Amino acid sequence: MKFILRRLLFYLATLWIAITLNFAIPRLLPGNPADIIFGKFRGNVSPGTLRALKSALGFTNQNLVGQYFTYLWNLGHGNFGLSYSYFPASVLTIIRQDLPWTLFLLGFSTIIAFTFGTGLGIISAWRRGSVFDSTLPPLMLFLSSFPYFWIALLLLYVFSITLGWFPNAHAYTVLNLSWPVIGTVLYHSVLPAATVVLTSTGGWLLGMRNVMISTLAEDYIVMAQAKGLTDRRVMLMYAARNAILPSITGFAMSLGFVFGGLVLVETVFSYPGVGFDLVNAATNDDFPLLQTLLLFIVLAVLVANFIADITYVRLDPRVRAER
């Protein structure tokens, strides 16, 4: 499918640009990039380790091109250097440990928000002008104006600290793979997930609602009603089925935004995901970790986008036919 191939190429190009940016930015800043990044390690590591560290990020004695390829080589082998703030843990270890938590939270809350928001959007559009439609969209709009992390703080304050219903930090109490532990994991994820759901559902709702309203004005909807089909069928199979397409595109595009919100939510709840790590790395000037985290976040978003593209192609036969 030409469409999928084109998207894939685009994602690879983006990944390459992100990698190259990572390489280029420290070198573009005024001052000695090596000092900026590795200054903190001095005195804590042996010269040999320091050299290996530098070469992992491409700071060797080679010329620029050579450095670039060394960097790429190391990247390909998963050699991302050591983290300063979690010294002596390697960056890879940290990411491997924390990325799953973020993905779990992201997946869990986004799917709920998307389903909920889209569903409400469909109903809202169908029952346009009703009490439901007049109150819910403006309310959700108002809610989504609050900064993600503020809602997180509020939820934390009300439900955790004041009411004590939920834990106020972290993702788990003890970690092993057993049912009670899975229970605590879910328990800890309620407030963070609720934050994401509360703030992002509004966007889905409004988006879906608007597209639905446009779709409902189409001729094939009138035709469907003329055919004597039930309201439910018209609403779902004719209207929503068409309206969902821009929503999927919107979903993909907003993933970056959702990730941003996730970073903040993890910070508020001290949830041990890559967002939390990112902020800590930034505050502590832990550049090796910082850079690599950004790369992985970009990678995650690209993968999610790709999945969204495939879903879109499956749902829209017109795209499949594109020559």
Partner 1 sequence: MATVSTTSLQTADEPGASHVPIVAGQPHRFRAFLATIASNRKAAIGVILLLIFGIVALIGPWVAPYDPGQVGAAFDLTPSWSHWLGTNQLGEDVFSQLLAGARPTIVYSVLAGLIATVISCFLGLTAGYLRGLVDDALSLVINVFLIIPTLPLLIVVAAYANALNLRGGYIQTLVIAFTAWPWGARVLRSQMLSLREKDFVLASRVSGDSTFRTIWDEILPNMISLVVANFIGATLYALLFGVALQYLGLTDESQVSWGSMLYWAENGDALLLGMWTWFIPVGLCIALFGTGLAFTNYAIDEFTNPRLRTQKVRRRSGATSVLAVATPAMLREGDDAVVA
Partner 2 sequence: MPSLLEVDDLVVDYLTPNRVVRAVDTVSFDVRPGEIVGLAGESGCGKSTSAHAILRLLRPPAEITSGQVLFQGQNLLAMSPNELRSFRWRNISIVFQSAMNSLNPVISIADQFLDTFKAHEHVSKKQAMDRAAELMTLVGIDPARLKSFPHELSGGMRQRVVIALALSLSPELIIMDEPTTALDVVVQRDILQEIETLQKELKFAVLFITHDLSLLVEFSSRIAIMYAGKIVEFAAAQELFLRPQHPYTVGLMESFPSLTGPRKALVGIPGSPPDLGAPPAGCRFNPRCPRVMNVCRSIPPELVAHSPEHLTACHLYPSSLRVA
Does 167 sit behind a cis peptide bond, omega within 30 degrees of 0 on the bond before it?
Answer: no
As measured in angstroms, the least distance from the Cβ of 180 to partner 1 is 28
Kindly report each contact of residues 232-237 with a partner whose C-beta sits within 8 Å and lies 24 or more positions away, as own/partner: 235/122, 235/126, 236/122
Shorter beta-carbon distance to partner 2: residue 27 or 314? 314
181-220: which residues touch partner 2 (CB under 8 A)? Answer: 218-220
Shorter beta-carbon distance to partner 1: residue 26 or 272? 26
| Binding-site partner at residue 85 among partner 2, partner 1, none, CB < 5 to 8 Å by type | none
DSSP string, 11-53: HHHHHHHHHHHHHHHHHHSSS-HHHHHHGGGTTTS-HHHHHHH
Cα–Cα distance for residue pair 265/58, rounded to 1 Å? 33
Shorter beta-carbon distance to partner 1: residue 26 or 167? 26
As measured in angstroms, the least distance from the Cβ of 7 to partner 2 is 20
Of positions 28, 65, 163, 321, contacts partner 2 by CB under 8 A: 321
Cα–Cα distance for residue pair 185/178, rounded to 1 Å? 11
Q: Which of 261, 274, 230, 291 is nearest to 104 (CA)?
A: 274
As measured in angstroms, the least distance from the Cβ of 48 to partner 1 is 25
As measured in angstroms, the least distance from the Cβ of 18 to partner 2 is 34
As measured in angstroms, the least distance from the Cβ of 125 to partner 2 is 14
Number of alpha carbons in the 13 Å side-chain half-sphere of residue 258: 31
Shorter beta-carbon distance to partner 2: residue 133 or 218? 218
227-286: which residues touch partner 2 (CB under 8 A)? Answer: 227-230, 233, 237-238, 241-242, 245
Is 318 a binding residue for partner 2 by CB under 8 A? The answer is: yes
| Binding-site partner at residue 237 among partner 2, partner 1, none, CB < 5 to 8 Å by type | partner 2
Question: How many amino acids of this chain bind partner 2 (CB under 8 A)?
Answer: 23
| Binding-site partner at residue 232 among partner 1, partner 2, none, CB < 5 to 8 Å by type | none
Of positions 18, 120, 224, 255, contacts partner 2 by CB under 8 A: 224
Query: Residue 92: what residue type?
Result: L
Asked whether the beta carbons of 126 and 235 are under 8 A apart, the reply is yes
Which region, judged by CB under 8 A, interacts with partner 2, from 142-150, 256-264, 273-281, 310-318? Answer: 310-318
Shorter beta-carbon distance to partner 2: residue 6 or 320? 320
Name, in order, each residue with C-beta under 8 angstroms of 14's C-beta and a sequence gap of 6 or more. Answer: 298, 302
Shorter beta-carbon distance to partner 1: residue 109 or 144? 144
Cα 25–Cα 31–Cα 32 angle in degrees, nearest 5: 80
Residue 96 CB: number of other CB atoms within 10 A? 12
| Sign (positive or negative) of CA dihedral 13, 8, 207, 298 | negative
Site residues (vs partner 2, CB under 8 A): 218-220, 222-230, 233, 237-238, 241-242, 245, 315-318, 321
